[in-house]
Amino acid sequence: MYEKEEILAKADRISERIKALDTVKEYHNVESQIHQNKNIEQRMKELKKNQKQSVNLQNYGKTQALKASEDKIQHIEEDINILPIVEEFRESQTEANDLLQMMISTMSDRLNQQLEDKD
């Protein structure tokens, strides 16, 4: 029987191995590039500002101004989404998530199988 500390130590080793996978490295690399991109940073600040403004406009019942603000938000999102680095980020994020989901599913299946075998 494993002790909690042993399991946590093994989980840490698995985590380090996952970080070393090319798929995960690529995701972190692209994520870093996005965080360093001044254009994206400026557009994200503008997006957040407009989202806050939209909430305020909605709270005060200013429907015309809210519509204009929502249109501006949509335009900013479109500007961000067409950037190649953003598309690359989404693709690498999807690949990394798929890999992690597969690993979680595999561990769950194996654990469940072991529990069934004991019954």
| All domains in the chain, ordered by first residue | 22-114 (1.20.1500.10)
On the CB side of 48, CA atoms within 13 Å amount to 5
Average pLDDT over residues 46-56: 96
Sign of CA dihedral 108, 109, 113, 119: positive
Is 80 exceeded by the pLDDT of residue 119? no
Q: Choose between 67 and 119: higher pLDDT.
A: 67
- Residue 37 in 3-state DSSP? coil
Nearest to 84 by CA among 54, 40, 51, 117: 40
Is 70 exceeded by the pLDDT of residue 1? no
- Please state whether the predicted TM-score (pTM) of the whole model is above 0.75: no
